[in-house]
Structure 1
Amino acid sequence: MDDYLVFQLYAPLAAWGGQAVGQERPSDDHPSRSALLGLLAAALGIRRDQEAEHQTLSHACRFGIKLPAPGLALRDFHTIQVPPSAKKQQHLQTRRDELREPKVGTMLSFRSYRQDALSIVAVTSTDERYSPDRLSDALLEPVFPLYLGRKACPPALPLNPEVIPAHDLRTALDSYCIAPWVSQLREKFSRYYWEAGMTSGMDHDFQTPRYDQPLSRQRWQFTPRDEFVSLGGE
């Protein structure tokens, strides 16, 4: 039997990343591994430049997700000022340095969000420094602000972390109590997602690559991993 830290993520808007190409900034319908690690790191007070701590946290933690309510897709149109292409080749320390050029251009982008999405997340850890109890305490009193993918997406409900002993991931996720009014968001069936190395307690319908394994927080680099998916759970 393992201890699982289980908590909820809900906000009017959330953004769970995806492969950004050109002007598109997509969002998946459930949290990415990189976003969940970033959430825990913020709660623990790990800064972005602390690469060793980020790697230790990443190696220790495994995530499973129950998706009772994937929410609705929202696509937002953005414009942003950018320097001339020649200046992009220079090393710039701040956004202010970037915009000191008298003439700046405009870049268009499209950012995707999920509206009214509810995710239940379970975490296991192999490192006592990041035990479920310590992670739970950190989520209750985070060092840095928490947000759901983007800084414009703070959680709208307490995360309500709970340490649940269970024989497998499915049991831990299904044992977590959702507030009755929040459960009104639920669809008839929930989907489950988990990563390799977890005792899932269910068969997967398929597995798919996901490019959300952090390689470097400072350089914002990611590598692929396999994600297992079960469809149609009650």
Structure 2
Amino acid sequence: MSVLLLRLAGPLQAWGSTSRFTRRTTENAPTKSGVLGLLAAAQGRSRDADLADLAALEFGVRIDQPGTRLRDFQTAHHGDTDKAMPLSERFYLADAVFVAGVAGTPGLIDALYEALLDPVFLPYLGRRSCPPSRPIPLGPPQADIRLEDALREAAWEASDWYRAEGSQSAPGRLEVLLDCPAGQAPDIALRDLPLSFDPRHRRYGLRGLRGSHVPLPGTRAAAPPHDPTDGLFPAAPRTD
């Protein structure tokens, strides 16, 4: 088994598991469906593609910086008729940072890593309005390591300002959420196991989670500046 760790950091994130109609909520941590959707998009999979191989991956997430819940109240009109659309509420996590991980066969994990280095579709953190602010892969896949151990050993990815306040915000440990093994009673359950992303009939199964905590690890050197749209547009010609 191999493990691929992902840094999920951005001004806004939104990871819904029960969102319906005009009220779009977010969980406190990335969902399995959201992260697998990001990986499927990086590979260029179509919405109706088979997800069985991705759904079988072991998934876990470490909350490095929990962020702040933000509520956005939206109004809109149809452009052609000027008819009002339904009012909606959308919730986000602002200034959050997570380390997520997937574990599976080396061939699939390597393919996902390569896709993130050169994604077919622009990755986003749960919703299209939530681009990442840092590169997503935390290095190449790791071989012969348990996902829980990889999450335990990964450097703390919180922002500098948050680390400066860490004595109060993160008192010596970080929360980890992992897939619950078969036969073990889960701590909580979410309907975030993707069965189909087909917009005509999206389907999700229940997934059991178990929670734990890991000691606060050391910090990583500051990440280089990151613009997820680099390469999409040619550089502007110089005029001087």
Normalised by the shorter chain, which TM-score bucket? 0.7 to 0.9
Q: Give the structure 1 partner of residue 7 of structure 2.
A: 8
Which residue of 194, 197, 220 corresponds with 2:202?
220
- 1:80 & 1:38 partners in 2: Cα distance? 27
Q: 1:72/1:117 Cα in 2 relative to 1: closer, same or farther (>3 Å)? A: same
Q: Does 1:143 find its partner at 2:120?
A: yes
- 1:111 & 1:196 partners in 2: Cα distance? 29
Q: Give the structure 2 partner of residue 118 of structure 1.
A: 97
The alignment of Structure 1 onto Structure 2 pairs a total of residues equal to: 206
- How far 1:232 moved relative to its partner? 6.6
Q: Does the aligned pair in 2 maintain the 1:205–1:231 contact within 8 Å?
A: no
Q: What residue ranges of structure 1 are gaps of 5+ in the alignment?
A: 83-98, 199-203
Which residue of 134, 151, 156 corresponds with 1:157?
134
Q: 1:11/1:224 Cα in 2 relative to 1: closer, same or farther (>3 Å)? A: same
The code of the aligned residue for 1:107 comes to P
- How far 1:197 moved relative to its partner? 4.1
- 1:181 & 1:14 partners in 2: Cα distance? 15
Q: Give the structure 1 partner of residue 22 of structure 2.
A: 23
Q: Give the structure 1 partner of residue 234 of structure 2.
A: none
Q: Does the aligned pair in 2 maintain the 1:146–1:155 contact within 8 Å?
A: yes
2:35 aligns to what SS in structure 1? helix
The code of the aligned residue for 1:151 comes to R
Task: Spell out, residue by residue over 1:116-153, the C-alpha distance to the aligned partner (whole angstroms, 9 max, x if none).
Answer: 1111011111473x1x2221111111111000000000
- Structure having the higher strand fraction is 1
Q: Does the aligned pair in 1 maintain the 2:59–2:101 contact within 8 Å?
A: yes
Q: 1:20/1:49 Cα in 2 relative to 1: closer, same or farther (>3 Å)? A: same
Task: Spell out, residue by residue over 1:89-132, the C-alpha distance to the aligned partner (whole angstroms, 9 max, x if none).
Answer: xxxxxxxxxx76x473431111000011111011111473x1x2
The 5-angstrom pairing of residues 170-209 of structure 1 reads 170-178=148-156, 181-182=159-160, 184=163, 187-188=170-171, 189-197=173-181, 207-209=187-189
How high is the sequence identity, in percent, across the aligned residues? 31
Report the TM-score when normalising by structure 2. Answer: 0.76
RMSD (Å) for aligned C-alpha atoms: 2.6
- How far 1:222 moved relative to its partner? 1.6
The code of the aligned residue for 1:113 comes to Y
- 2:117 & 2:43 partners in 1: Cα distance? 10
The 5-angstrom pairing of residues 26-175 of structure 1 reads 26-50=25-49, 52=50, 54-59=51-56, 61-81=57-77, 102=81, 104-126=83-105, 128=107, 130=108, 132-162=109-139, 163-175=141-153
- 1:118 & 1:197 partners in 2: Cα distance? 26
Report the TM-score when normalising by structure 1. Answer: 0.77
Q: 1:75/1:168 Cα in 2 relative to 1: closer, same or farther (>3 Å)? A: same
Task: Spell out, residue by residue over 1:54-104, the C-alpha distance to the aligned partner (whole angstroms, 9 max, x if none).
Answer: 233223x1211111111100000012347xxxxxxxxxxxxxxxx76x473
Q: Does the aligned pair in 2 maintain the 1:191–1:233 contact within 8 Å?
A: no
